[in-house]
Structure 1
Amino acid sequence: MLDKNIKHQLQSHFSAINNPIELIIALDDSNKSKEIKALADDLASLSDKISIKNSEQPGARTPSMVVRSPISNTHIEFAGVPMGHEFTSLVLALLQTGGHPAKASNDEIEQIKSLDKPLNFEVYISLSCQTCPQVVQALNLMAATNSHVSATMIDGALFQDEVNERNILAVPAVYLNGELFSQGAVTLSDILNKVDSTSVEKTAAKLNEKDVFDMLVVGGGPAGASAAIYSARKGLKTGVVADKFGGQVSETLGIENFISVQATQGPKLVAQLEEHVNQYEVDIMKGQRALSVSADELLSIELESGATLKAKSIVVATGARWRSMNVPGEAEYKGRGVAYCPHCDGPLFKGKPVAVIGGGNSGIEAAIDLANIVDHVTVLEFADSLRADEVLINKARSLGNVTIIKSAQTTQVIGNGQKVTGLSYIDRNNGEAYELSVAGIFVQIGLIPNSEWLQGSEVALTQFGEIEVDGKGATSMSGVYAAGDVTSSAFKQIIIAMGSGATASLGAFDHLIRQGSDHSQAA
């Protein structure tokens, strides 16, 4: 099941396992069960701490594998074969169950340990989803830390009956004790905030006690990580406050234009960014959203949690998000057929007709990817010409199950109350209206900056909501700098965001020097 190189790497990792682990497997006669059995055998061969048992639980999902600690009675289950993006989730589950410390803050670990009610999490995923592993790993970490918590990863493509019964049309979809808990990307902080009713107040109180930062970075994407590193290297007291670390990059599958790295994936790059930032004394505060910025003797960032952070300088790097169509039915059917990540949700529409809204690179790439999974793809482009690269357009047109319609204005998402059944659009050339029968709609029409919280502040925004910056990343508000996709930069690329993060950080440092900061002599 596993090749020699992976086994060699795992054997090195598994040397950190101190406590016994049981792999409890539930099998049938399917090929996937054979894969689970082979995987379990390979894992057990790499450590004398790992043993295999056959499941005796009536009605257990098959094929599945439970990672269990016989000492603490923790329970982490993988229903399906956890390969692809989820292989790392399996490895981490083994290490954490075996006693290796989890990568979470002390506050988060203590909060998990304090949970005293049964919490049975089920998370439906697709193995091609790059967002799913962070959710799976957060739930697994909780389950490995507290025996009151159990976590089960379910491959939606393999357990289609459950997916259909629960009407799951977007992943990751998390259920808690049988009820829908969340859909889409959620962080460990998000989960803890929802299951621990006192967590928001506790966290806000701790944040309010923070000392003044020399530089506070708002946002944890590539621009924010770069700004934090440059600030910390100058010897400044640096903080990063963000909803989640990684930003939109965590939802990016393939990255092939990051100079010096031929190919990588978004989640891997995010993990490397966070690891790099953690090499410095940077205070990372996740699970927090900025509400407003103000200035008196110091700059203040008010957070949605009710806390306020003080700083001598600020770098805003809140990035951007997918743009919505803003048509009737879109909000109602989001997660029920309206999707924004073809890599994540594509497998849920296997053999069904879908539409892609947008004819830029993202839209045409999505159509090409989906064509290998779904029955038919219809691309709707508002303009009278496609904006994608010619090589992508030619590839899409060469596929027999891809149709491209130009000058098409989507007017409504149609559904039956539970899921998407179609959409309406107008031909902009003749004004005629049409209906298209589809099971899924993938929206790929660009980005919108995450700058709403700055409206009404002294920070000037463009007509598109982007932050106006000068050559040093300075905004119109003294001491506030900005970087990345939230700014008026001409191009929205990871490498450009990183460069602008460094520029804004150095610009803010120069501002501190000229303001006579205590750190004006920092190297």
Structure 2
Amino acid sequence: MLDANMKQQLQQYLGNLREPIELVASLGDDAKSAETRELLNEIAELNDKVTARFDGDDARKPSFLIRRASDHDAAVRFAGLPLGHEFTSLVLALLWAGGHPPKVPDEVIEQIRALEGSYDFEMYFSLSCQNCPDVVQALTLMALNNKEVTATLIEGGAFQEEVESRKVMAVPAVFMNGASFANGRMNAEEIIAKLDSNAGARAAEKLNGKAPVEVLIVGGGPAGAGAAIYTARKGFSTTIAAQRFGGQVLDTMAIENLISVPYTEGPKLAAALEAHVGEYDIDVINLQTAEKLIPASKTGGYHEVVFENGGTLKARSVILTTGARWRQLGVPGEAEYANKGVAYCPHCDGPLYKGKRVAVIGGGNSGVEAAIDLANIVAHVTVIEFGDELRADEVLQKKLRSMKNVDVFTSAATTEITGDGEKVNGLVYKDRNTNELKTVDLEGVFVQIGLVPNTEWLRDSGIDLTKFGEIEIDHKAATNIPGIFAAGDATTVPYKQIVIAMGEGAKAGLSAFDFLIRNEAPEDIAQAAQKAAREALSVA
């Protein structure tokens, strides 16, 4: 199962085990069970602290439990083979079960252990999903650190009938105590926040207790990371407040145009950005959604950012790097069938549509790349493009045209996504040349029509926005409000690319530095005013 290189790496990792662990498998007579037996035997042979047993009686076969030999409550179950993107999750589960400390803040572990109640999680993942490992690892961490939490992590391709019976049409999909709990990427802090009703209030209290900083960066994608590194290197106190560090990069699969890096993947790049930021004294605060910006001209002191949980952060300078999100079609049926046949991540959810008919809405690079990837998995792909022709690069169009199970309709405006009440069964589009409505029977719709900036929260702030919601900036990344800068996909800078966002973030950081060295801090201004007042009184 594992090649020589993987075995060597795994053996090195298992050298960090502090106490024995057991692998307890429940197997059938199928090929997947045979592969599971082979994998577990190979793991056990690499370290004498690992024991493999094959007398499990779990109903899901193949599946296996990873548990601490001295504490059987510290356990997590994998159903199917956690390879591909999930091999790292498997390695971490082995290490954590064996007492190796996870690289997460101590307060997160404390929050997991403090959870009250019993939680039985079942989570479905696909081996090609780059969003799934975060959820797999979060639930593993919780199961190994709270005996009232159990987690079964299920590779959907190995349990297709179960996936269909539970109507799982997008991964990661999490069920708790038998009921649907959440879809999409989440880390342990986000899951805890959904379970702990007081988490928001505590987070707000923590924010309100922080002293003002010199630079506050709102958003944690490539632009935010670039800005933070540059301001921190200049010696300025810097805070990043973000919904999730990494931003939309976390949802990006193949990255082949980042200069000097021939190929990488979004989660790997996000991890590298986080590691680089971690080299400096930068305060990174996740799970923060900005709600309001109050410029210094209105506060009489610092710029203030108010967050959804009620907390506030203050800074002499603010850099806005809130990025963008997938644009939605806005047609009937889209919201109703989200995660029930309507999807936005072909890499994550494509394997769930094996042998089925799907559509991709959008003929740009993202849409055509999605259609190419899906055509290798599904029975048939229909590409729907609003314009008169596809907008993707010619090399991608050539590849698409070579695929026999793809149809392309241009001058086509999607008007409705239809379903049977439980899942998608088709879409309706209008031929823009004839105004004729046409129906396509299918089981999945992947929307790939570009981005919309995350700037709604700025509309009453005084920041100038375009009619498209982009933040207007000048050649130095400055907004119309002194001391407030912006960078990345949320701005008017053309070409929404990772490498451009990084550079624009660095530019915004340098512009903030220039602003700060040329302008006094509010407390310095106040002290100067008090001194002038005292001198005036003494003269009088």
Which category of TM-score, normalised to the shorter sequence, fits these structures?
A: over 0.9
Change (3 A) 1:161 1:311: same
The answer (yes or no) to whether the contact 2:302–2:522 under 8 Å persists in 1 is no
Give the whole-Å Cα distance in 2 for the aligned partners of 1:202 and 1:290: 17
Q: Where does residue 69 of structure 1 map in the other structure?
A: 68
- Please state whether the residue corresponding to 2:352 is helix, strand or coil: helix
Measured against aligned partners, the alpha-carbon deviations of 1:121-148 in whole angstroms (never above 9, x if no partner) come to 1111111111111111111111122222
Q: Where does residue 381 of structure 2 map in the other structure?
A: 377
Q: Which moved more, 1:277-286 or 1:100-109?
A: 100-109
Q: Where does residue 110 of structure 1 map in the other structure?
A: 110
RMSD (CA atoms): 1.5
Q: Which moved more, 1:144-153 or 1:496-505?
A: 144-153
Deviation at 1:166, TM superposition (A): 0.8
The number of equivalent residue pairs is: 519
Change (3 A) 1:451 1:518: closer
Alignment-mate amino acid for residue 430 of structure 1: T
Give the whole-Å Cα distance in 2 for the aligned partners of 1:140 and 1:519: 47
Alignment-mate amino acid for residue 33 of structure 2: S
The answer (yes or no) to whether the contact 1:513–1:519 under 8 Å persists in 2 is no
Give the whole-Å Cα distance in 1 for the aligned partners of 2:138 and 2:232: 28
Q: Does 1:314 align with 2:318?
A: yes
Give the whole-Å Cα distance in 2 for the aligned partners of 1:308 and 1:290: 9
Alignment-mate amino acid for residue 80 of structure 2: G
Q: Where does residue 401 of structure 2 map in the other structure?
A: 397
Deviation at 1:188, TM superposition (A): 2.1
- Please state whether the residue corresponding to 2:283 is helix, strand or coil: strand
Give the whole-Å Cα distance in 1 for the aligned partners of 2:122 and 2:130: 18
Q: Where does residue 431 of structure 1 map in the other structure?
A: 435
Alignment-mate amino acid for residue 505 of structure 2: G
Measured against aligned partners, the alpha-carbon deviations of 1:30-67 in whole angstroms (never above 9, x if no partner) come to 221122112112211222211112243352x1111211
The answer (yes or no) to whether the contact 2:27–2:56 under 8 Å persists in 1 is no
Give the whole-Å Cα distance in 2 for the aligned partners of 1:174 and 1:424: 31
- Please state whether the residue corresponding to 1:24 is helix, strand or coil: strand
1:73-472 aligned within 5 A: 73-295=73-295, 296=299, 297-472=301-476
Alignment-mate amino acid for residue 381 of structure 2: V
Give the whole-Å Cα distance in 2 for the aligned partners of 1:25 and 1:175: 22
Alignment-mate amino acid for residue 379 of structure 1: V
The answer (yes or no) to whether the contact 2:291–2:457 under 8 Å persists in 1 is yes
Q: Which moved more, 1:410-419 or 1:236-245?
A: 236-245
Give the whole-Å Cα distance in 1 for the aligned partners of 2:164 and 2:337: 16
Give the whole-Å Cα distance in 2 for the aligned partners of 1:208 and 1:517: 20
Deviation at 1:411, TM superposition (A): 0.3
Measured against aligned partners, the alpha-carbon deviations of 1:342-374 in whole angstroms (never above 9, x if no partner) come to 111111111111111001111111111111111
Give the whole-Å Cα distance in 2 for the aligned partners of 1:417 and 1:247: 33
- Please state whether the residue corresponding to 1:484 is helix, strand or coil: coil
Q: Does 1:497 align with 2:501?
A: yes
Alignment-mate amino acid for residue 70 of structure 1: A
The answer (yes or no) to whether the contact 2:77–2:151 under 8 Å persists in 1 is yes
Alignment-mate amino acid for residue 108 of structure 2: E
Deviation at 1:70, TM superposition (A): 2.5
Give the whole-Å Cα distance in 1 for the aligned partners of 2:522 and 2:482: 18
Measured against aligned partners, the alpha-carbon deviations of 1:411-457 in whole angstroms (never above 9, x if no partner) come to 00101110000011100001111111010000000011111111111
Q: Which moved more, 1:432-441 or 1:44-53?
A: 44-53
Alignment-mate amino acid for residue 453 of structure 2: P
- Please state whether the residue corresponding to 1:16 is helix, strand or coil: coil
Q: Where does residue 32 of structure 2 map in the other structure?
A: 32
- Please state whether the residue corresponding to 1:347 is helix, strand or coil: helix
- Please state whether the residue corresponding to 2:157 is helix, strand or coil: coil
Q: Which moved more, 1:271-280 or 1:420-429?
A: 271-280
Give the whole-Å Cα distance in 1 for the aligned partners of 2:201 and 2:242: 17
Give the whole-Å Cα distance in 2 for the aligned partners of 1:144 and 1:258: 38
- Please state whether the residue corresponding to 1:486 is helix, strand or coil: coil
Measured against aligned partners, the alpha-carbon deviations of 1:218-267 in whole angstroms (never above 9, x if no partner) come to 11111111111112111111111111111111111111111111111111
1:37-76 aligned within 5 A: 37-59=37-59, 61-72=60-71, 73-76=73-76
- Please state whether the residue corresponding to 1:164 is helix, strand or coil: helix
Deviation at 1:103, TM superposition (A): 2.1
Measured against aligned partners, the alpha-carbon deviations of 1:303-356 in whole angstroms (never above 9, x if no partner) come to 001101111111111111110000011001011000001111111111111111
Q: Which moved more, 1:24-33 or 1:370-379?
A: 24-33
- Please state whether the residue corresponding to 1:516 is helix, strand or coil: coil
Alignment-mate amino acid for residue 335 of structure 1: N
Measured against aligned partners, the alpha-carbon deviations of 1:353-407 in whole angstroms (never above 9, x if no partner) come to 1111001111111111111111110001001111011111111111110000000
Q: Which moved more, 1:22-31 or 1:66-75?
A: 66-75
Deviation at 1:519, TM superposition (A): 13
- Please state whether the residue corresponding to 2:489 is helix, strand or coil: helix
- Please state whether the residue corresponding to 1:41 is helix, strand or coil: helix
Give the whole-Å Cα distance in 1 for the aligned partners of 2:17 and 2:225: 31
Deviation at 1:517, TM superposition (A): 4.6
Give the whole-Å Cα distance in 2 for the aligned partners of 1:83 and 1:139: 17
Deviation at 1:71, TM superposition (A): 2.6
- Please state whether the residue corresponding to 2:152 is helix, strand or coil: strand
Q: Does 1:17 align with 2:17?
A: yes
Alignment-mate amino acid for residue 88 of structure 1: T
Alignment-mate amino acid for residue 315 of structure 1: I
The answer (yes or no) to whether the contact 2:130–2:347 under 8 Å persists in 1 is yes
The answer (yes or no) to whether the contact 1:187–1:244 under 8 Å persists in 2 is no
Deviation at 1:518, TM superposition (A): 10
Deviation at 1:459, TM superposition (A): 1.1
Q: Where does residue 488 of structure 1 map in the other structure?
A: 492
Alignment-mate amino acid for residue 382 of structure 2: T
* Structure 1 consecutive aligned stretches of length 4 or more whose deviation exceeds 3 Å: 517-520
Alignment-mate amino acid for residue 69 of structure 2: P
Measured against aligned partners, the alpha-carbon deviations of 1:264-300 in whole angstroms (never above 9, x if no partner) come to 1111111111111112111111111000110220011
Percent identity between the aligned chains?
54
Q: Which moved more, 1:356-365 or 1:194-203?
A: 194-203
- Please state whether the residue corresponding to 1:485 is helix, strand or coil: coil
Give the whole-Å Cα distance in 1 for the aligned partners of 2:523 and 2:475: 23
Change (3 A) 1:519 1:368: farther
